[in-house]
Amino acid sequence: MTPTPGNVDPVPPAHTEPASGLSTADARARLAEYGPNELPPSRRVPWPVRILRLLAEPMSILLIAAAVVDAVGLGQTVDAAAILAIVALNAAIAFFQEGKAAAALEALRSMESPRARLLRDGSPTEVPAREVVPGDVVLLSAGDRIPADLRLLEASMLEIDESLLTGESLPVAKTPGATDGSGIAERPGMAFSGTVVIRGVGRGVAVVTGPRTELGRIAERLREREPATPLQRELRATTFRLGAMAIVIAVGVFGLTLARMGFTEESLQRSFLASVALAVAAVPEGLATVVTVALAVGVRAMAARGAIVRRLAAVETLGAATVILTDKTGTLTENRMRLEAAATIDRPPGPLASLPDRAWTTATEIAALCNDAELDPPSGDPMDVAVLEAVGSYRVADLRRRATRLGEVP
C-alpha cells in the first residue's frame, strides 16, 4: 500500500497493536517497502553544469562577446585575454563559494541522526530515526524530536513546539482524537515530524515517514529552482541596456564615419574598427569583478557569524532588507531564552548571583523545584530552561537531590 501525504493514514489501526507495537520482522518488511525515514538528499548539480550556468549570466556573455570582438575584430589579443581572465575569475569565485556552501549543508545533513523510542515486540526499544516505519508505536516525552508524522494514541499534558511548521512559537496542547482537519493547526490528534515535545508524555502510531511527511512536503517545495535575486535581475537589466547602448553607438559611429569618409574599402574597414572599438569600450569589464568580490566579502562575514549562504547573489537580498516585521520568534531565532537580570523590590535589576543571600537562596529554590525542565540535555519549555541555566546545573542538581517534589517518591 503506497502511503500518502497529509492526514491520510496509510496504515489501518488493525495492522498495528498499540500495546505491543510491530514485530522486528514486520518492521524490516515495512522498511523495505516504504524506504528509510529520511529526507532525500538535495540534487547535486554536476560541476560542468554549474560552470555553464555561471557563464550563462548576461554580464558574462557580454564580456565574452567583447573579448571575441577585441581579438577577432581589433586584433587586441592581450585585451581579450584580460577580459576572459576576468570572466574566469568571477566564475571561479562563485563556483568555489557555492561548493563550500553545499559541502557545509551536506555536513549538517550527515550529522548523526536522532534516535527514536519505539515499542517493538512488546518492549520499549531505541532505534535510529531513519528506521522508523509506518505502523511503529512511538513513545514520546519532554525533549524528544518527533521522528515521523504520528496519530496520537495517548497523551498526558502533552505539548509540542510546532514552530518549525506553523511559525507559532507557543507550544500546542495535543490530545488523541480527530485528525481530519485541513491544516496542521487544526489537527490536535496528530504530531508531526521534526517538531519537539516541550512537556508531557504520550505515544502515537507512525502514519507517514520520510518525504511523505509534512516536513518532507515542505522540503520538496524548497528543492524547486530558486528565482533570480533582485541583484541578478538588476544586473541583467543593466547588461541589456549596456548591450543595446553599445550596438546603437557602434551603428551610429559606423554610419557617420562611413558618410564622412565615403564608401570605399578602406573607409569601410576603418569605420568598422572605430565602431567596434567604441562598442567594446562601453562594456564595463570591471563591474562583474567588483560585484563578485563585494558579494564574496559579504558571504565571508556571514560565515563568521555561523550563517551558510549557498548562492553568492543571496547576500545582496539579505543586505537589501532594512526592516523586518514579524512575530514568528520561534522560526527566526533558535527558540532559546536567557535570563539577563533579576530584581527585588528594593534593588535594581542585575545578575541573579548579585541578589542578597536570602533572596538568592529563595529564588534558586523556586526556580529549581517549581520547574519541569532539564539541563542535561536541555529540554522543556524555553523559559524554564533559561531559568535553570541561570541557576546553574550544580545548584539545580543539589536542590533536587535534597528536596522531594510533589508526585515523587521520598
Alpha-carbon distance of 140 to 273, in angstroms, equals 77
The packing angle between helices 393-402 and 382-391, to 10°, is: 90
Reference 120, options 210, 29, 27, 36; nearest CA is 27
Reference 207, options 151, 125, 255; nearest CA is 151
Reference 380, options 196, 170, 138; nearest CA is 196
Contact between residue 337 and residue 384 where contact means Cβ atoms under 8 Å apart:
no
Reference 5, options 149, 171, 114, 170; nearest CA is 149
Grid cell digits, residue 309:
549562504
Q: At 51, is the secondary structure helix, strand, or coil? A: helix
The packing angle between helices 230-261 and 285-304, to 10°, is: 170
376 belongs to the catalytic site:
no
Burial class (CB in 10 A: 0-12, 13-18, 19+), 22: buried
The one catalytic residue in 327, 346, 357, 376 is: 327
Tell me how many helices (H) and strands (E) the chain has.
14, 11
Q: Where are the beta strands (DSSP E) in 79-210?
A: 115-120, 123-128, 137-141, 149-161, 172-173, 190-191, 196-208
Angle (nearest 5°) at CA 245 between 243 and 247: 70
Please state, as a whole number, how many other Cβ atoms lie within 10 Å of the Cβ of residue 241: 10
- What's the alpha-carbon Rg for the chain, to the nearest Å? 31
Q: Are strands 196-208 and 190-191 parallel, antiparallel or unpaired?
A: unpaired
Task: Write the DSSP string, 215-260.
Answer: HHHHHHHHTSPPPPPHHHHHHHHHHHHHHHHHHHHHHHHHHHHHHH
Alpha-carbon distance of 299 to 277, in angstroms, equals 36
Q: List active site positions.
A: 327
